[in-house]
């Protein structure tokens, strides 16, 4: 085998090995990602309470620490001024359970009584989320899912 082929092969291994290390390092620096997000609103009827249920799968290389959730009317105050990550940090947390190596299935559910439903703005609503990974990386989305009241 010629010396040129051996040196060329060694250089290729260094380049490929370096690229692989970069891909692994880059994957570890990705913010949490949400998939399969759904929001379901059920209005109260008669003496039966309603509910809002939001579910999603959160993936983070370092693990999922928390998921904050906030439902807000599309025509409400956040439509004009925007919702910020800082404001969402004070929102309620979803319940997250392991669903794979670095994935958690998170559910947020609130009961809606007749008084709450009558006071709520009718129309389109958004669900905002703030996912936090164990390493502190965050992912903020002010319109992760939508649902309609009324």
Summarised one tens digit per residue, pLDDT across range 136-147 is 999 999 999 999
Provide the token pair at 114. 């007749």
| Residue 89 φ/ψ region, left for φ over 0, alpha for ψ in the -120 to 50 degree band, beta for the rest | alpha
E strands, the chain, are 33-42, 50-59, 64-73, 92-93, 95-98, 103-112, 123-133, 138-149
Of 99, 34, 30, 22, nearest in space to 62 by CA: 30
Confidence of residue 28 (pLDDT cuts 50, 70, 90): low
CB 53 within 8 A of CB 112: no
pLDDT at position 30:
87
Contact present, 65 and 132 (Cβ < 8 Å): yes
Residue 5 has pLDDT above 70, yes or no: no
> Is the sign of the CA dihedral 104, 105, 111, 112 positive or negative?
positive
Assess if CATH 2.60.40 describes domain 31-149.
yes
- Please give the average per-residue pLDDT across 20-43, as a whole number: 77
């Amino acid at each position: 085998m010629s010396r040129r082929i051996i040196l060329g092969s060694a250089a290729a291994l260094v380049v490929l090995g370096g690229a692989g290390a970069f891909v692994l390092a880059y994957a570890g620096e990705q913010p949490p990602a949400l998939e399969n997000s759904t929001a379901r609103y059920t209005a109260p009827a008669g003496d039966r309470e309603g509910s809002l249920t939001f579910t999603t799968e959160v993936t983070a290389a370092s693990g999922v620490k928390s998921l904050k959730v906030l439902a807000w009317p599309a025509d409400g105050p956040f439509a004009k001024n925007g919702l910020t990550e800082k404001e969402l940090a004070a929102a309620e947390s979803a319940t997250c359970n392991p669903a794979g190596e670095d994935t958690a299935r998170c559910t947020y559910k609130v009961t809606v009584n007749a008084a709450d439903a009558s006071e709520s703005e009718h129309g389109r609503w958004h669900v905002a989320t703030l996912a936090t990974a164990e390493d502190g990386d965050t992912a903020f989305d002010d319109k992760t899912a939508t649902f309609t009241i009324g």
